[in-house]
Amino acid sequence: MTNYPLLNLFWTMLEFFIWILWFFLLFKILADIFRSHDMSGWAKAGWIVLVIILPFIGVLAYVIIRGRSMGLRDQEQAQKADAAFKQYIRDAAAPPTEGVTASTGTRHVEELSKLADLKANGALTEDEFQKAKDKLLG
């Protein structure tokens, strides 16, 4: 049996956790470099080389220099995803188009089922659910 004190175990766990956080930050920064539209291809290449060749200095420099814009790009992407999700809800709750034949009843059932799932998942409030249901059935 080996002698490995409890404090060493905690220290090892802390180092492992910090290592995982480091990789998360590194991948987040690499994704942000590729997602950034305000940098030229050469600037992106320079940041990638800096982050890969001198990882600690490169990552810290990127966070210091471009950290604020990185947060803004994350916020913009979240707003676009939210808008797309809300548009999907509007499209799913829209009344059927003209010329829909016998499948109209089936379509209503499917769309009501989608609305109920969205409500159950917490994506829709009770009021939004009722409005969408009334719009669909009305």
Residue 42 confidence (pLDDT) above 60: yes
User: Is the same domain home to 44 and 110?
Assistant: no
In a domain, 109, yes or no: yes
**1 or 89, which is more confident?**
89
Residue 61 sits at the vertex; the CA angle it makes with 64 and 41, to the nearest 5 degrees, is 105
User: Is the same domain home to 31 and 61?
Assistant: yes
Residue 1 confidence (pLDDT) above 60: no
Q: Which two tokens stand for residue 72?
A: 């803004």
User: Is the same domain home to 76 and 101?
Assistant: no
Alpha helices in 54-125 (DSSP H): 55-93, 104-120
CA nearest to 96, candidates 137, 37, 42, 125: 137
In a domain, 89, yes or no: no
Q: What is the pLDDT of residues 54-83, one digit of tens each?
A: 988 999 999 999 888 888 888 988 898 888
User: Is the same domain home to 33 and 78?
Assistant: yes
Q: Which two tokens stand for residue 25?
A: 């930050």
Domain boundary among 55, 84, 113: 84
The model's pTM: 0.55
Q: What is the pLDDT of residues 78-125, one digit of tens each?
A: 898 888 888 888 888 776 665 545 456 677 778 888 888 888 887 778
Residue 43 belongs to what H/E stretch? helix 41-53
What residues contact residue 62 under an 8 Å CB cut-off, 6+ apart? 29, 33, 47, 50, 51, 70
User: Is the same domain home to 129 and 63?
Assistant: no
Q: Domain limits at 36?
A: 1-84
User: Is the same domain home to 73 and 112?
Assistant: no
